[in-house]
Amino acid sequence: MTETPPPVATAAERGLLCCHHCGSVWEGASEGERCARCATRLHSRKPDAFNRTWAFLIAAAILYLPANMLPVMITKSLFGTQQDTILSGVIYFWVSGAYGLAALIFIASFLVPLFKLTALTLLTWLAQRGSDWRQEERAKLYRILEVIGRWSMLDVFVVALLAGLVRIQGFAEITAGFGIAAFGAVVVLTMMASLSFDPRLTWDTRGAPASEAPAEDDDMKRSGETA
Q: How confident is the model at residue 39 (pLDDT cuts 50, 70, 90)?
A: confident
Run of H or E including 82: strand 80-84
The verdict on 105 and 175 lying in the same domain is: yes
Q: Is 173 part of any domain? A: yes
Give residue 191's domain range.
48-203
Long-range pairs for 165-172: beta carbons < 8 A, 24 or more residues apart: 171/77, 171/78, 172/75, 172/76, 172/77, 172/78
Q: Is 3 part of any domain? A: no
Ramachandran area for residue 174 (φ above 0: left; ψ -120 to 50: alpha; else beta): beta
- What is the length of the chain? 227
Residue 86, number of CB atoms within 10 A of its CB: 23
The verdict on 95 and 180 lying in the same domain is: yes
- Range ranked top by mean pLDDT from 148-152, 165-169, 221-225: 148-152
- pLDDT at position 219 is 39
Q: Is 171 part of any domain? A: yes
Residue 172 pLDDT greater than 70, yes or no: no
Alpha carbon dihedral 188, 192, 194, 196, in 10-degree steps, equals 180
Mean pLDDT across the stretch 190-216?
68
- pLDDT at position 92 is 80
The verdict on 52 and 40 lying in the same domain is: no
Between CA 49 and CA 118, with CA 140 as vertex, the angle to 5 degrees is 60
The verdict on 136 and 219 lying in the same domain is: no
Domain count across the chain:
2
Q: Is 189 part of any domain? A: yes
The verdict on 60 and 128 lying in the same domain is: yes
- pTM (2 d.p.): 0.73
Residue 169 pLDDT greater than 70, yes or no: no
- Cα–Cα distances in Å, from 10 out to 16, 48, 173, 185, 209? 9, 21, 59, 37, 10
Residue 36 pLDDT greater than 60, yes or no: yes
- CATH number of 114's domain: 1.20.140
Run of H or E including 136: helix 135-148
**Which residue in 44, 22, 48, 46 sits closest to 33, CA to CA?**
44
Tens of pLDDT, residues 61-81: 999 999 888 888 777 766 777
Q: Identify the burial level of 197 via C-beta atoms within 10 angstroms of its C-beta, where 0-12 means exposed, 13-18 middle and 19 or more buried.
A: buried
The verdict on 12 and 91 lying in the same domain is: no
Q: Is 2 part of any domain? A: no
The verdict on 36 and 73 lying in the same domain is: no
Mean pLDDT across the stretch 130-145?
87
The verdict on 222 and 192 lying in the same domain is: no
The verdict on 21 and 73 lying in the same domain is: no
Q: What is the mean pLDDT of the chain?
A: 76
> Which amino acid does the sequence have at 123?
L
The verdict on 39 and 93 lying in the same domain is: no
Q: How confident is the model at residue 216 (pLDDT cuts 50, 70, 90)?
A: very low
Percent of the chain with pLDDT over 90: 12
Q: Is 61 part of any domain? A: yes
The verdict on 40 and 85 lying in the same domain is: no
Q: Is 1 part of any domain? A: no
The verdict on 68 and 26 lying in the same domain is: no
Mean pLDDT across the stretch 124-146?
88
Mean pLDDT across the stretch 173-194?
83
Residue 125 pLDDT greater than 90, yes or no: yes
Question: Which region among 11-15, 22-26, 84-88 has the lowest average model confidence (pLDDT)?
Answer: 11-15
